[in-house]
Chains A and B, each alone.
Chain A
C-alpha cells in the first residue's frame, strides 16, 4: 500500500516552460515533505522541502506547494532547463526529524531544448 504516490511516471516539457510534478500522500501523520532529484548512476540529491505548517516554499526556480486538506503537493520548476532532466522523487516524514523517509516511485522529467 503506497503511502506516497507519484502517478505520472514521466513528463516531457519544452525548455523555458514550467514543469509541474505532482505527489499525493495518504498518511495524515506526515508533517514534512521533501523533493529529491536523481541522475542515472548517482544517489538522490536533496532539492527542496516544506513543513506541514506552510503551504509554499520557494528556492530560486523551484517552488513546492502543499495542500494539506487534499494531501497533495507539487513541485514547480520555472523556467525548465535541459539540465533539469532527471527522475524526481517525492518523500515524506512522520517523525520529528532524523526518521526514515517514505518515497514515491518517482517521475522522470525530460526537458526538451
Chain B
C-alpha cells in the first residue's frame, strides 16, 4: 500500500521557474527521501531528511519536513528542461527488521518547458 500522497499529481512550468511538490504521509517515520525517475528508468536518490531535521539543502533542491503535520515539500529552484521527470517521496520507518524498507508515494510528474 502507498504510504503517502503527493500533490500535485502533475506540474508544468517554464524553464527558470521554481517547482514545489508536496508529500503527506500517515505513520511515524524515521526518515523521508525524495527520488527522481526519468520515463521508464530506475529511480535516482535526490535527498534524505531525518525525522529530527526540519530543512535540508542540496544544490538547487530544498526539502522541508513537518512531522507534526506529517508532510514534506521538495522545492527545485531555477528549473531546467532536464529536470523533467517523476518525483517520488518515500518514507522509512525505524525499528526491527523494517528498518531500511521504503514506502513510496504515487509521485508528481514534473514537466519543464524550454
The answer to whether A and B come from one shared complex is no
